[in-house]
Each structure stands twice: as C-alpha cells, then as structure tokens.
Structure 1
Amino acid sequence: MIDLYYWTTPNGHKVTLFLEEAGLDYRIHPINIGKGEQFSPEFLEIAPNNRIPAIVDRAPSDGGQPLSLFESGAILEYLADKSGKFLPKSGRQRYRVLQWLYWQMGGLGPMAGQNHHFRNYAPKKIEYAVERYINETSRLYGVLDKQLDDNEYVAGDDYSIADMAIWPWIKPYEKQGQDIEDYPNLQRWFERVGERDAVKRAYAKAEEINPQNNVEMNDEARRHLFGQ
C-alpha cells in the first residue's frame, strides 16, 4: 500500500497518473496547501521541504521499514523501479526517459510555475516578470514540440514517466498564456495522453478532492503559499 500525500497541483497529478496506470494500491491523504496543512509536524516528518507530493511505501521492495519519499521526480523514478513499469531497467532508453523527467523538474515546472504566479496570483503585475516567464514557457513548449515531431511520446515510442511528469504542466496552458495550436506535435501528444483511461481516473479523483481546482486566494492562502 502506498500512502500518497497530495493536493491538486501539477506535481500532485504526476503521482496519481502513475499509480492509476500501474494499478498499485494507494490511498490519498489530502494536504490542503491553501490552508497550510503542508506545515504540520506530521507532514514535515515525511516531506521536510513542506511541498507536496510525498509518499510512504508501507511495503517497500527491500522488505524493510516503511519508506517515505518527497520530490515528485524521485517518487516517479522509485515507483517505476518498484513496479517495473514506464521506465526501462537499464540501457540508453532509461536515460532518454530520465533526461526528459529532469527537463521537466528543472525547466518546465519551475518556469511554468513562475508564469502562473506572476500572471495569476501576484498582488502586483510586474510586466517584465510576466513577459519573461511567458516567453520562457513558450521556448520550452517549442523544445517539446520539436522532440515530438518524430516521437509518439516524449522519450520515444513508449509512454513513460517522462510523459506523466510533463502532461500535467501542459494541461493549464491557457493560464500560461500559450496557444497549444501553435505547437501541432505537442497538441497531438497532449490530446493522445488526455484520452488515457488512467489520466481520466486520476483527474476524476482530483475533482472529488478539490472540485474545479479551487484555491481561495485570501490573505491566509497567500501567506501559506507565497510566504506573504
């Protein structure tokens, strides 16, 4: 059994996508980040960086004590190795997948995240910041579009944890100031992944936990989310 500490953000969705695809038993523990639940002592024991997602594997492969992990990329890599799915065990293709996983972790996620913040949540509009992060998001979309020109999925012919990591960050493309029709290869891939049954199940669970992905952006939420 996997205990998943989760909220309905792109990083949270990555893990539910994997768990639904792999058919692993799991239970969700919602961590409402707008209410500051990520700062509870119990959660910080699992995720000292006070960010979701995090997991506790109650039955790790080594047979030892329960294993806790934070950071969505590390969680995806661990679960893929545990289940033997969506990441080759060795060889060049394993590293092709991992390079795109790390590309998301180090590039697309942080840049799109800042894009969301300055376009949608910042108390003051800073035009330079908005323009910078829209442009950088656009550049990264272009990189991905080129990669998908002759690949069915991000790392090649097979669906992998790289796709699971990237897709939730593309889904809110309108909030990032992007027109997905400008990236035809990316659009084709985005629509194909969105039709997967596991993706639909994962987002249905998100809707149950946090209908319409609502965040009441009051002073309390700003303090918890942005340190304001």
Structure 2
Amino acid sequence: MIKFYFHPTPNPMKVALCLEELALPYELIPVDTLKGQQHTAEYRVINPNGKAPSIVDNGKRVFDSNAILMYLSERTGALAGKTEDRSEMLSWLMFLATGLAPFSGQSVHFRHAAPEQVPYAINRYLFEAKRHYQVLEIHMEGREYIVGDEFSIADISAWGWIDKAAVVLGEEGLASYPNIKRWFENINARPAVERARNIAKDLVFKSDFDDEAARALYPQNFTE
C-alpha cells in the first residue's frame, strides 16, 4: 500500500486528488509542517527537501508533487493524456511546477505571511502570479481540459493551487479569468475532489501561525 505523507496545503492536495481519481489504496500519514515535523531526520530520509507531500510505494520514495503525479500516472497507465499530446503534457506540467505554483506561493507569502510588508516583493510576486494565470487563461479559450481532450494530471496539478486563487490573487479570485473559472468549476465538481477534501477530516493539524509555526516554516529568520 502507498504511504502518503500529507499536509492540507495545495501541493499535497494535488496528490490527494490524484490518488482518489485513480482509486489507489493508501495510508495517510500526517506531516504537520507548522509543528516542524517535515524537519525530522526520519522524514528527511523520505523527502530530503523537507517538504510535503511525499509517497513511499513498495519501498520507493517519490517527492515533489508533480513528480508524484507523473509517477502515479505512469504506474497505472491512467491520467497521462494521449501519446500524441506528450509534448504538451510535459510543457504544461513544467509550466505549472516552475511557474504558476511557486509564484503563487511567493505571492501568498509576501502578502500574508512575511514578517514585514515589502512593496517590491509584493508587487513582483503578485504580478508574476497574475501573468502565469493570464498565460493559462489564454490557453484555456475553447478548451475543457489543459492538455488534449481528456482529464489528466495536468488538470490535477493546476487545480491544487488554483483552488486558492482568492488567497493568491486577492478577493476577486478568478473573476478576471473566465476561462480558468469555467475550467475550475468543471474540475471542482468531480466526485474525487470532494473525497480528496475530506481525506483528513479526522486529523487535527496545527492552525495557529505562532512563533513555533514561524520557526518551522521559516527557520532562516531565526538565529536562536
């Protein structure tokens, strides 16, 4: 059985949705990142980058959310898109992994979590997040799915962060991106999404962003 190391944040949620779509059995193992559990020596053996998510499948570790999506797709032969769309699949997965996701995360950080408001950083990352959204918005004109004509891991990868559009972009959320909004509502209505949202309903994660949480997430800000 797959061991799934999870925290209820955008990147692990991608993997949760993928597992539910594929109906793969898994053991959910919480990693409370606000308590610093991602930094333990035991977890670093599984994910040397000290992040969530990770999986262990028959003794093989896979870390980084998009790597896990690709691994699970290849393992099952599902959600990979058509062979003739392989170049598009790789291109959009990398766009999401290196562009939309990290710039979204930095936008959230500098607007909501940074210890001081830095106008340049806020503007830089919000602009880049919006720019990546606009690239996807143009691409989604007349399309139901990101790659080809069927649901795939590209849609799952995008869903994880676009689910947090209001936090990333501001209260307007997807209002300026009607094509993405239409796509998101279509994906969000899938039964596996509801199952993914509920996988941790019986788990309690730390929610207070106090000194312990700040030290766990941003240790570089503390010298003692």
TM-score (norm 1): 0.91
User: What's 1:188 paired with?
Assistant: 182
What residue in structure 2 maps to residue 69 of structure 1? 62
Alignment match of 1:83 (pick from 58, 62, 76) = 76
Question: In the aligned structure 2, how far is the partner of 1:4 from the partner of 1:14?
Answer: 12
Deviation at 1:132, TM superposition (A): 1.4
The residue that corresponds to 2:191 in the other structure is 197
TM-score normalised according to structure 2 size = 0.93
Q: Which residue of structure 1 aligns with residue 84 of structure 2? A: 92
Q: CA RMSD in A?
A: 1.4
Match of 2:140 among 130, 143, 148: 148
Which residues of structure 2 form unaligned runs of 5+?
none
**Which whole-Å CA distance do the structure 1 matches of 2:200 and 2:101 have between them?**
19
**Where does 1:21-40 land on structure 2 (aligned, <5 Å)?**
21-40=21-40
Aligned-partner Cα distance in 1 for 2:199–2:97: 24
Unaligned runs of 5+ in 1: 59-65
Give matches, 1:121-160, under 5 Å: 121-160=113-152
Quick check: 1:87–1:161 contact (8 Å CA) kept in 2?
A: yes
Contact 1:8 1:210 (8 Å CA) reproduced:
no
- Provide the C-alpha distance between the structure 1 equivalents of 2:159 and 2:70, rounded to a whole number of angstroms: 16
- In the alignment, does 2:59 pair up with 1:56? no
- CA positional deviation for 1:157: 1.2
- Aligned-pair distance for 1:156? 2.2
Q: In structure 2, what is the Cα distance between the partners aligned to 1:226 and 1:40?
A: 15
How many positions carry a matched residue from both structures? 218
DSSP 3-state at the match of 2:209? coil
Q: What code does the residue aligned with 2:142 have?
A: D
**Distance between the aligned counterparts of 1:122 and 1:29, measured in 2?**
29
1:103 maps to what in 2?
95
Distance (Å, rounded) in 2 between the aligned partners of 1:224 and 1:137: 25
SS at match of 1:68: strand
Tell me, in whole angstroms, the C-alpha distance in 2 between the residues paired with 1:104 and 1:216.
Answer: 29
Q: CA 1:208–1:120 in structure 2 vs 1: closer, same or farther (change >3 Å)?
A: farther
Instruction: Write the letter of the residue equivalent to 2:65.
Output: S
Would the aligned equivalents of 1:38 and 1:51 in 2 still touch at CA under 8 Å?
yes
Percent sequence identity is 39
Deviation at 1:210, TM superposition (A): 4.8
What is the aligned partner in structure 1 of residue 45 from structure 2?
Answer: 45
Given that residues 47 and 70 in structure 1 are in contact (C-alpha distance below 8 angstroms), is that contact kept between their aligned partners in structure 2? yes
